[in-house]
Structure formats: structure tokens, C-alpha cells
Structure 1
């Protein structure tokens, strides 16, 4: 499924749809009658599908396994834990949070998240979607107990103040996260490409000169002798002398004569 960042919806609407879809699922017409149609419902269903909480067709909406765990949570603590699991399993959200932890950040603001999504993860989302998607991400993360959402005022960007125990939460939930293929970080890809390029470079064999010994199949030593023939008939005497001296065939101080 292609990434289409959730936006123009609210965590409250997500939980309402999950409630209606308990059991065998719910017809879309029922959701339209109870929640209203149009963009809010469309984007709410997109958010639920992106987060892996529902499966749907043109007529019916059904809970996935992750959706059932969240919908049937028995208390607020369990609901926060299951929602945190969902948030961290969604690559654009989990990837941004993991990167913030690696960088030692205590706050994720809107421009930083946009750079991670658009530049490092290469999501290629429309600008207006990204701006509103950041807000929804921050709200959902707050609902999951991963931080506190602060709306931007007086020129300050919207931001998520990360929970003090975020690293411990992520460490505890990491073994339970969905086994989705993570989005690649461009900066990490560049380093891996350089490593791979270095690994696949073939080792150049040593140049043989004169006589040497190599091992043939079975470890049997084989002596290799190379003979080089040089035509000196057109060379001047000084050039021949220099060449032979280079080969050690003419001692220092000895001059060739015609």
C-alpha cells in the first residue's frame, strides 16, 4: 500500500469507527449515516487503513488484528499501549520517532518532521497534506502517551514534546511492532551504498614479475616463469644502457661502447 499521510481527521473519529466496526465489521453506509460522509469520513478511513487498523472495500469496513487489539482494549493504559504500538509500526511515524531518539531530541517540531518525511524518507507528499499531517501525527502520538502536543502560536511551529520515558517505551514495544518493511533513510542508504561498493570491489591479483610460486588446485605449489622479449634494434645506445641498468644487468660505473 502506498504511503498517503493521514490528515484532516481526528483521533476521536478513529476510535468511533473502530467502535462501530467491532464484531463482523460495519457497512460504509452505516458510517455515513452516523458520522456523515464526505472528506472527514474519507480521510478517517484512509488514516485507519494507513495505520493498519482496518481492511475495507467499497461496501464494508472490517477490523484487522491490530484494530481488534485497540478496539477491545479494556482500560486506558492498555489502549495507550496498543495505540503506541500502532504509531511506532507506521513507518513515517515510527521512523521519525526513532530518528529523534538517535539525535537526542526532546522536541520534534513541524519543520523537522517535514524534512524527515520529504527529504530523508522521500515520501513525496503534497505540501498542504504534510502540514496538516504533522498536526494529526502529533495529536495521535499524544493520545498514545508518547509526548505532549503543543500547537504553534506567535510564530512558533507546532511541536511534540517527547515523553521523558519515550526511549523506554520504544524499547519495550520494539519486539511487538508490525514486521513492515521500514522506509529507508537517505543518509543511511548513502553510507550503505559506499560500504557495499567497497565490499564488491574485486581484489586485484598481485602482478607477477620474473619467477614466482602459486598454489594450484589441491594446494600443490607450481612455479611460474615469465619471459619478456624486448626489441632493442631501433633503440639508441644510451637508452639501451639505461634500460639494462634498470634491470640490474649493467653495474654502476660501467659504460657500454659501440
Structure 2
């Protein structure tokens, strides 16, 4: 496969939306499930396409339909639980997940300036351009706030835009990562069990197939590899049989034995 024919992966970071838009779109989808026109009509936010794309990248919606994760978030009334579900979604999107892990390994600061996020993405080739990273950084911090990790502060009067972390944000991030790792491990185990079941089934099916073997007289198809009890008791009354009939019967039995020995 040539380089030009390889499918390019879209490395665009989510941009052009806000936390408010995300919440409003989830509410619209929840209230008008399966009704695309109704969803668009009741959505009161802005930049629908960008908001939809953001939620799709986080695995919360597919098209304008809620995924199983999306349903859990949209129909959750407890704010703390909903925050936790958002965080689990974040921890499965590498540009967000790896940045959070980098932050807590870098001394777990009380606040992080938005340029720190942009620089991290730039060094690790996330985003398609500096402009994409600039627009995506504010969306990222907004989503971190939705996940209950802290507060997104827009810079004013000479102060930089930053994210103020909550006291327990490190434990929240670690808990979400461990939870996702457990799910991956469980899914891997299930897949392995399914593969083993399929292999055993295939072996059984193969053993039931007739086998072709070579004999002195050419090739012969034999029964399957499975062995079953083949002893059959036949009671024959020879009282009224003449010698010719008895001899023919004995010859028939010998022919059967020869076939079994092949």
C-alpha cells in the first residue's frame, strides 16, 4: 500500500463549542430521542455541528443518538455521578486523558494555564494546527469543568486563562482510569473466552468431517474422527436356512470387517 492510498486519521481536536452547548444538546437528544428534526428544533445552543462532533469524539453520542454511555450521563440526576461519568468518557479520549495524567505526574499543581495545555498538545502532535489547538483548549477546559475537576477561568485584566483544580482532582482522575482499565480487562477476558469457545467448536466440527485417506486401491472416504461404540449384537436363527444362504451371510460379515480395518 502506498502512502497516498493510506487512510488518513483525522487528528482535529474538538473545537468551537462550550460546556453550555454540550449540556443543551444532551438535553435535546434526551427529550427528542430518535427525532432528528425535533432535536434540532429544540436545541437552544449554538454551533450544533461542532457540539455534535465533540460529543461523538467522547463516545457520548453517535450521530444524534445517545450511546449507552450517553444515556447514563443524560438520564443521571445526581450531579456527582454525572460528573464521574463525564470523566470516564474523558479518560478514553487520548488528547484529554494523557494530558490529565501528565498534569498529576508533573506535581499535581493547583492551577494550570491554558498555554500549558496548548504546548503539551503541540509537543505530542495533537491537533491539526496551532489555530486548532487554540480553539480546542477552551473546549477542553470546559469539559474538565463538566467532569467536576475544577473551574475554567477566562483571563481578564492581564491574568491568563487557566483551570483551577479541585482539591481531590488527582484521586478522581486515578479512580476513573482504574475503572476504565478494569472494563478493558473484563472485555479482554470475555473476548478470549469467546475465541476459545469458537476454537473448540471449530475443532468439534472438523472432527465430524469425513476424512480422505489413501489405500492400496486408491483413495477412500472414511467416517469422522469421532469414535462411537460400534459393537452390534445380531441374533440370527439359522434353523430354516440352507447351507448356501448361511455361507452368503458369513461372507457378508467378513466384507464388513474388511471395510472397518481400512
The TM-score with structure 2 as length reference comes to 0.60
Say whether 1:33 aligns with 2:20.
Answer: no
How many aligned residue pairs are there? 174
For residues 157-213 of structure 1, give each alpha carbon's deviation from its aligned partner in whole angstroms, at most 9, with x where no partner exists: 211122221111112221223779xxxxxxxxxxxxxxxxxxxxxxxxxxxxxxxxx
Q: What does 1:81-100 correspond to in 2, within 5 Å?
A: 81-100=84-103
- Take 1:145 and 1:81, find their aligned partners in 2: how far apart are those partners? 7
Say whether 1:8 aligns with 2:16.
Answer: yes
Change (3 A) 1:36 1:146: closer
RMSD: 2.4
- Take 1:147 and 1:105, find their aligned partners in 2: how far apart are those partners? 13
Query: Which position in structure 1 is the counterpart of 2:115?
Result: 111
Instruction: Give SS of 1:177's match.
Output: helix
Structure 1 residues not aligned, in runs of 5+: 181-258
Contact 1:4 1:50 in 2 (8 A): no
1:68 is displaced (CA, Å) by: 1.1
1:23 is displaced (CA, Å) by: 8.1
Say whether 1:46 aligns with 2:53.
Answer: yes
1:80 is displaced (CA, Å) by: 1.2
Q: Where is the helix percentage greater, Structure 1 or Structure 2?
A: 2
After TM superposition, which residue ranges in structure 1, 4 or more long, deviate above 4 angstroms?
Answer: none
1:2 is displaced (CA, Å) by: 3.1
1:36 is displaced (CA, Å) by: 6.6
Instruction: Give SS of 1:18's match.
Output: helix
1:135 is displaced (CA, Å) by: 1.1
Query: Which position in structure 2 is the counterpart of 1:68?
Result: 71
Instruction: Give SS of 1:6's match.
Output: coil
Say whether 1:159 aligns with 2:162.
Answer: yes
1:94 is displaced (CA, Å) by: 1.3
Say whether 1:21 aligns with 2:24.
Answer: no
Structure 2 residues not aligned, in runs of 5+: 1-8, 185-262
